[in-house]
Amino acid sequence: MGILDFFSSEKQNNNQNNLFSKSELENLIQILSKISYIFQESGSIIGGRSEKMMSTTRSYAGILGYFYEIEYGYGKMIDIVDNNIANHYLLVKSAMFNNEHKKRTISELSNNWSDILQVIFNFELDSNPIGNKFKTMQNDIQKVTEAFEKLSGTKCRKPQNPLDTKPKNITYNPYNITEDPMLSRGHTIPDITSVFAQELIPLLSSAQSYGRLSKDTVANYAISMVKSYYENAGFVPMVIIDQITGQINQVTDMFQKISYSPYSSLKEYVLSKIYR
């Protein structure tokens, strides 16, 4: 066997250990890129999250791009995506060189992708152009879901219909939180993440200094926002809980250096501290 044959054989053996082939990764990256542009076209998601969803899906494309270019050495990311995706990838690649960050990012893939699946599902519930585009991509979206489950080693959550109400055995509901879809109509909050950041970040800094749990600091702040909404409206639709906890998680995501990562079940934790 010649030296070139030897190295060719070694490369083939290494590729056999990869979770994805070159063509599989290229396809997954293209799917995520397409989804990011659909979110870009979506205008305004409740709570002003269109830009966030677009950026998040491009980050997922960048994570797979890291495997494509760095981990597996299949080629250059810039050769298979447009400039928008390529520029976003550079930021993701830089962060992924930190082993601790990379490990955490991969372990949280399924859980975080579940949030995207829920947003996509919500679009599909209504007869609208964006929802219809997602409906035509179901097979591709499933490919991404399976890929992230393979990478993270955990299953994604199934999307839930927000209009399906299930009676809860609750004896204490001080803020009159309701899942009645009729009462949810017309209730929304604007994108006030900048306000949340201004108020919440100092609280997190103080909690860190005194050794208090960041999770409780964030949850208590969210509850204060729920209380404020109740004092103005007399009740709180569950969709408002979704929007408050969603925007607060965006703030904590932007300021992870304050020793807090977005709590995947912030909504459930907040409700557990309210309900009795």
Query: pLDDT at residue 12 above 50?
Result: no
Domain co-membership, 245 together with 129 = no
In a domain, residue 167? The reply is no
Residue 198 lies in a domain: yes
Is residue 147 domain-shared with residue 184, that is, in the same domain? no
Whole-number pLDDT of residue 7 = 38
Q: Between the CA of residue 44 and those of 61, 182, 232, what are the distances in Å?
A: 22, 21, 25
Confidence of residue 207 (pLDDT cuts 50, 70, 90): confident
Residue-range definition of the domain harbouring residue 199: 177-274
User: How high does pLDDT run on average in the chain?
Assistant: 82
Model pLDDT, residue 236: 92
128 falls within a domain: yes
Mind listing the pLDDT tens digit for each residue in 118-167? 888 878 876 678 888 999 999 999 999 999 999 999 999 888 776 554 55
How many domains does the chain contain in total?
2
Contact 274, 171 (CB under 8 A): no
Flag whether pLDDT at 11 surpasses 60. Answer: no
The answer on 189 and 136 residing in a single domain is no
Give the C-alpha separation, 247 to 267, whole Å: 11
Do 197 and 90 have their domain in common?
A: no
The pLDDT-based confidence of 43 (bands split at 50, 70, 90) is low
pLDDT in tens, 236-274: 998 899 889 888 887 876 655 443 344 456 777 788 888
Regarding whether 125 and 227 lie in a shared domain, the answer is no
